[in-house]
Amino acid sequence: MPEDIKVLVVDDSAIVRKVFKEQLSQQRGITVIDTAPDPYVARDKIVKLKPDVITLDIEMPRMDGITFLRKLMKFSPLPVIIVSSLTSKGSKLSLEALSIGALEVISKPNAAYSVGDMSLQLAQKIRAVYGAKIKTPSRSNLQPQSAVVKASKALAETTNKIIAIGASTGGTEALKKVLTRMPQNSPGIVVVQHMPAQFTTSFAERLNELCQMNVKEAQNGDTVSNNNVLIAPGNFHMLLKRSGARYYVEVKNGPLVHYQRPAVDVLFRSVARYAGANALGIILTGMGKDGAAGMLEMKKAGAVNIAQDESSSVVYGMPKEAKDIGAVDYVHDIYSIPNKAISLLETM
């Protein structure tokens, strides 16, 4: 039998450490080998115990989680899941942690007694990041910065086209690489990134600062149009709709799909129905199979689909599942996807 995933919990709250250890150790295939109240204690335990995955609080005494994460990624990179508060500051720090090398983020409950309620979700994320490729911003893996894909007259005329993107583990950085290279006159883009409520707001705001296109967290009824990117809000599904020549999104509650809300499959299926051959689908790094079935529906409806390749994916789950069922037309590394997407759109 394979050994359990060894987890180190780093959090300044004694209650959180106790509950995480008790709850996670009840999950199949996971063992909390120890806990640490701050980064200094964590450092010694990492050296001694060699954990497979670390859960890390950001706001801690003596040394904050961001500073510790930078040191960890430089000297001993490991899969890290950020456990953060549901505050504006917490979400912005979480995004910074993801850019440094953390792979997932989970929101900390407001009440300590409810920490146990999130154990199943945290266990799923631990399994997702276990064995993942750690892509830190080091000299060894930095790619040359390419310019924004050149805009064209043909692209400007594709007013009825839609780009739909789905991503999960490692997806925040993958999306940044794709969206920052898209030109202003790109068709409207709709995005599902598996991320907790509250955090998608800061994520969209950050992308809006970096991108040529306008990026915002989607609201119910928002129009999907050229030069605009809509990010599905955490804990809500997002669907594409059409009224005459106008595309818009519906943001709604609903059951979890593949344990996710928002779910990529929900978006992709709606894109297949309402955009059909006018759509281009992109599926990026992530664990599981969310998006595969929806992408196949898109292909059957006439859409063209691109998947991120294995070498540039943090977790080659979602792209592989889509490829294996025949939903993918092209496979590219993350840096080549924007050029390929634009060239396909110009001929659609």
Nearest to 237 by CA among 267, 216, 259: 267
Q: Can you point out the beta strands (E) in the chain?
A: 5-10, 30-36, 53-57, 80-84, 104-107, 162-167, 188-193, 214-217, 223-224, 228-231, 237-243, 246-252, 279-283, 304-308, 330-332
- Pick the catalytic residue: 94, 107, 168, 313? 168
Q: Can you point out the beta strands (E) in 246-332?
A: 246-252, 279-283, 304-308, 330-332
The pLDDT assigned to 152 comes to 62
- Pick the catalytic residue: 194, 222, 265, 309? 194
- Whether 332 is catalytic: no
Q: Report which secondary-structure segment, H or E, holds 91.
A: helix 88-100
Domains 5-129 and 153-345 share a fold: yes
The pLDDT assigned to 229 comes to 98
Count other Cβ atoms within 10 Å, centred on residue 131.
Answer: 11
- d(CA 144, CA 156) in angstroms, rounded, equals 27
- d(CA 126, CA 241) in angstroms, rounded, equals 35
Match domain 5-129 to its CATH number in 3.50.50.60, 3.40.50.2300, 3.40.50.970, 3.40.47.10.
Answer: 3.40.50.2300
How close are the terminal C-alpha atoms of the chain, in Å?
Answer: 50
CATH of domain 153-345: 3.40.50.180
Q: Where are the domains of the chain?
A: 5-129, 153-345
- Whether 194 is catalytic: yes
Residue with the two structure tokens 């129009």: 223
pLDDT values of the chain reduced to their tens digit, one per residue, 348 residues: 468 999 999 999 898 899 889 889 888 899 999 999 999 999 999 999 999 999 999 888 888 889 999 999 999 899 999 988 766 777 888 899 999 999 999 887 665 445 556 777 889 899 989 988 887 654 444 454 556 776 666 565 656 899 999 999 999 999 999 999 999 889 999 999 999 888 899 999 999 999 999 999 999 999 999 999 999 999 999 999 999 989 999 999 999 999 899 999 999 999 999 999 999 999 999 999 999 999 999 999 999 999 999 999 999 999 999 999 999 999 999 999 999 999 999 888
Break the chain down into helix, strand, coil percent, rounded to 5.
Answer: 35, 25, 40
Q: What's the per-residue H, E or C state across 213-262?
A: CEEEECCCCCEECCCEEEECCCCCEEEEEEECCEEEEEEECCCCECCECC
The pLDDT assigned to 346 comes to 87
- d(CA 238, CA 290) in angstroms, rounded, equals 14
The identity of residue 200, as a single letter, is: T
Nearest to 239 by CA among 212, 214, 266, 221: 266
- Pick the catalytic residue: 290, 309, 312, 313? 290
